[in-house]
Amino acid sequence: MTAPLTNISNGTLKQRKVVSHTITGLKRWSCHGGELPPASRVKSIHVYDFDNTLFMSPLPNQKLWHPSTIGLLQAEDVFVNGGWWHDDRILAATGQGVAKEEPRAWEGWWNENIVDLVKLSIEQEDALTVLLTGRAEHTFAELIRRIVASKKLAFDMICLKPQVGPNNQRFRSTMLYKQALLEDLMYTYQDADQIRIYEDRPKHTEGFRRFFDIFNKDLLSPMAPIPRKPITADVIQVSDIVTNLDPIAEVSEVQLMINDHNSQTKDKKLFEIKRTVIYTGYLLNPTDTAKLLTLLNPPQHMFGSVKTLANNILISHGTAPPHILNRIGDIGTKQTWQVTGFGTLDNKIWAARVTPIPPISTYHTHNHVPFVLLAHHKNAQPGDANRIQHWQAVSADKQYVFQTTVGEKAQLRVELENEGESEQENQYFRRNLKRAHSPPSAPQQNHRQNGNDDNRRQNNNNGGRNPNRGRGGGGGGGRNGGRNGNNRGRGGGGPRGGYKSLDDVGTGGGRYNMQRGEPNYDDYVPPSDYNAAFPALGGAGAGGLPYGK
């Protein structure tokens, strides 16, 4: 059967090359070699998206990367290999990697509700079951076939985006590719009266709905390209589940992607991974975070609007000055604290006042009173916690004692070499940290050396961004005393554009610095209120501890 292709994306019919809609032709879309059912048998077409619909493909970690880098990694035209959604090593690194995950069918990485629906579709005798993804066929076909086969999901068709379509089509976007395939499906299986699509991206679900509306309207037109009754189309929005790679594996894979780019690029735009320290603090572990959060009792109507933290006692924004760390101890130093009070501001910010154990400990806190910021309303400024003046004593059973580790919370950035360094990193904090309110004139309660040195500086950086949960607080080794801690790590960095690996991580006092050196089709955009950060790589063994939200 032949018919002219139609331009459905803009709602107009245009005469184009006449193509054949046959089962033989349809098979060319699939990288799965199985036979397709005869046209007379299929009454329903079931189409399943792969990424974050059926399979929980890892996304760039928002706790690890700066928001600008989240978008950069997923852009199709930045790296020579196409970036996150076009590099099969990223998908292959899911879980513990193919070698370990394939024998156990990537257990825990599936949306099991959708898996159950796929199995029902496969069992339905008059249904055609299709896996449809915008990932590139020449890059991902083998890996996705292996992932699907490990789960024993016998799709009739497994369709990935080809470089050139079966009729020599070239697609300007993934949506146009998918529409062309769906059109071929519906014209080939003319007797199908229903098509069902499962998709996680709202933008794509709306695009599919518009596509089917126009498709059915065009069938009723005198210019209809082929006699066919309208089809009932259901586009089901699937709630996606965000998953991430192991943080160290993720940075390693991104570094390999950068290495490939730097060795192949012709425009001399060489990228590297850089690190911005968001703050230095006494970091809590997850168990103590959970314990301190039991002090919280926000109003019921605020549930869902309160962001919990309880992850640190702030020492300084950015990298702590060497003179402070020389006094209180370097990255990895332990300090014990005890909760002495609870305070709130306008019922929108909650904090636990603490005191060091033993009381004669040498310590330093950025705020005039040492406290753990427990939580804040999403519309409140965390820095306003410094305005809390009335602290309520807590009962003896709530005077929790907990141990902290001096560490740093940071974000990683992928940028052009020599871009955004030194003074610009300092300006990052000046732009993004809310001006602190001057502390009250009451006598300081801290013992020995505490936050008084901060009062010699302009106290204008309190209330910075409060990162979400991460791992660790830094690594061991000597510190770099440079102005911004931008040590170049082993060997001073090496030549521009040279090969780099995780061995190039700087060892200076936990300062991680890679040495010099939703897919693009997913239309992923980081949320506007994103403020997460991630610490130095290393974990407890490298002088840091994982910590809570």
Compute the CA torsion angle 537, 538, 540, 546 (nearest 10 deg): 20
Amino acid at 27: K
pLDDT at 421: 54
Q: 377-394 pLDDT, tens per residue?
A: 999 999 999 999 999 999
Rounded distance, CA 53 to CA 67, Å? Answer: 24
First-to-last alpha carbon distance for the chain, in angstroms, is 59
The answer, yes or no, to whether residue 477 has pLDDT greater than 60, is no
- Are 251 and 537 in contact by the 8 Å Cβ rule? The answer is yes
Burial call 306-319: b when 16+ CB within 10 Å, e when fewer: bebbbbbbbbbbbb
Q: 127-156 pLDDT, tens per residue?
A: 999 999 999 999 999 999 999 999 999 999
Question: Within 13 Å of residue 271, how many CA atoms lie on the same side as its CB?
Answer: 22
Q: 392-421 pLDDT, tens per residue?
A: 999 999 999 999 999 999 999 999 987 655
Q: Mean pLDDT across the stretch 476-480?
A: 35
pLDDT at 425: 46
Rounded distance, CA 273 to CA 410, Å? Answer: 12
Query: Comparing C-alpha atoms, which of 376, 387, 383 is closest to residue 435?
Result: 383
Domain locations in the chain as residue ranges:
2-13+21-58+93-237, 274-478+522-542
The answer, yes or no, to whether residue 501 has pLDDT greater than 50, is no
Q: pTM of the prediction?
A: 0.67
Rounded distance, CA 346 to CA 148, Å? Answer: 53
- The domain 2-13+21-58+93-237 having CATH identifier 3.90.850.10: the answer here is no
Tokens 């006092």 belong to which residue? 509
pLDDT at 159: 93
CA distances from 304 to 95, 132, 374 (A): 30, 35, 15
Percent of the chain with pLDDT over 90: 58
CA angle at 140 for the pair 134 and 143, rounded to the nearest 5°: 130
Q: 87-114 pLDDT, tens per residue?
A: 999 999 999 999 999 999 999 999 999 9
Q: Mean pLDDT across the stretch 482-510?
A: 33
Q: Mean pLDDT across the stretch 147-174?
A: 91
Burial call 196-209: b when 16+ CB within 10 Å, e when fewer: bbbbbbeebbebbe
Q: 40-84 pLDDT, tens per residue?
A: 999 999 999 999 999 999 999 998 999 999 999 999 889 988 899
The string of DSSP codes covering 292-305 is HHTT----GGGTTS
